[in-house]
Amino acid sequence: MKNENNELKTEIQRHKLEKQKEEERLKELVHTEEEALRLVGDYYEFYNSNMKYKNPKIRRTSNDSFQVSVQECLKKTGYCDNETFWNSKVLTLTINKDGSYKVEKLS
């Protein structure tokens, strides 16, 4: 009886440890909204540097994909001070496992 109790305790501990490892692994796979916002900033700073953006709104579509609504304006003297020159865009941001990302314009 004592041996069976020890085996049961060992089995329960093993299951708890496996569950903790799985939860940690899943946390690593899920990208955060903050990370998505940071990458949108990087996109506009490096790849789309002739444009200014504001009011980003994030919607998660999967663990590694987001839809991002932004307003953007051509960085030209006087343009970004006038609301007339701001346009709404929706982007799809996909974050790869290696940390790189891809941005596609939907509208």
Backbone phi, psi, residue 77, to 5°: -50, 125
pLDDT of residue 26: 59
pTM beyond 0.85: no
Measured over the CA atoms of residue 40, residue 44, residue 105 and residue 103, the dihedral's sign is negative
At residue 60's C-alpha, the angle toward residues 104 and 37, to 5°, is: 65
Measuring CA to CA, how many Å separate 94 from each of 57, 59, 89?
15, 12, 16
pLDDT tens figures, 4-54: 777 777 888 888 888 877 767 656 667 899 999 999 999 999 999 999 999
